[in-house]
Amino acid sequence: MKPVSRVRLLSFKERPNDMARERMLIHIPIIHTEVDMGSLSESVKRIAIQKLGRGKWRRRTRQIEQMWRSIERTLEKLPMPCEKVRLYQDGLPVCESEIKIVRELAEKGSRNHQLLLRLMEKGATLMGTESAELLLQEYQLATQLYAPAVPRATVKIESRDQAIRQSLLQERDRYIAERINHTLRPGETGILFLGILHSVDGRLDRDIRVMRN
């Protein structure tokens, strides 16, 4: 995967007039940290250590931290007015408490949400990005799968459960894409923080120019 730091963004002064009116989306693939998992964080950590071993889990944690440092270095030097930037975050529902949710996770140590706050302080607009109903369904399914009462060695994800998870993932991706389609305006740039299992390919309006890392 090409490092996000290699993405070069034209400043508004460098962009031709026709480009200055286009809609641009910067797609940032991310890996969530345990803090981002909320109430499931301890279960996720426990299962990860059981699967990887404590040494590999620690190395993976360090790699994720390095990924976030790279993302931070790039996005905090955006060559454009943050007033024309909209922030889209997977896992953040469309509701009346988006900023509160981001602040709470940032206070708990989420690098992702701390970065969102810094970009907001520079003028970027935070957008509710996901369907609250679909996120609730995903949470309920994850709670069953990560239930500590069920021995990990006996947990099997049946084909039905796989189909449910895949269907939910696709529904979430469609919702995210439509949210961007309907809210990103001409002349604006969206920054989409999207988990690596997600994809909005083929779902965005054709006039949205996507930049990837």
**What torsion, rounded to 10 degrees, do the Cα atoms 42, 43, 49, 52 define?**
-140
More confident residue, 114 or 155: 114
Asked which of 53-67, 87-101, 109-123 is least confident by mean pLDDT, the reply is 53-67
Average pLDDT over residues 35-50: 58
Average pLDDT over residues 92-117: 95
Average pLDDT over residues 172-188: 97
Q: Answer whether residue 12 shows pLDDT above 50.
A: no
DSSP string, 139-199: HHHHHHHT-TTS-GGG----HHHHHHHHHHHHHHHHHHHHHHHHHPPTT-EEEEEEETT--
DSSP string, 23-55: EEEEEEEE---TGGGGGGHHHHHHHHHHHH-HH
Query: For the whole prediction, is pTM greater than 0.75?
Result: yes
pLDDT at 48: 56
Asked which of 47-61, 73-87, 186-200 is least confident by mean pLDDT, the reply is 47-61
Q: Answer whether residue 213 shows pLDDT above 90.
A: no
Q: What is the number of other CB atoms lying within 10 angstroms of the CB of residue 105?
A: 24
Average pLDDT over residues 133-153: 73
Which amino acid type is present at position 141?
L
- Closest Cα partner for 92 from 112, 77, 118, 121? 112
More confident residue, 131 or 159: 131
pLDDT at 191: 97
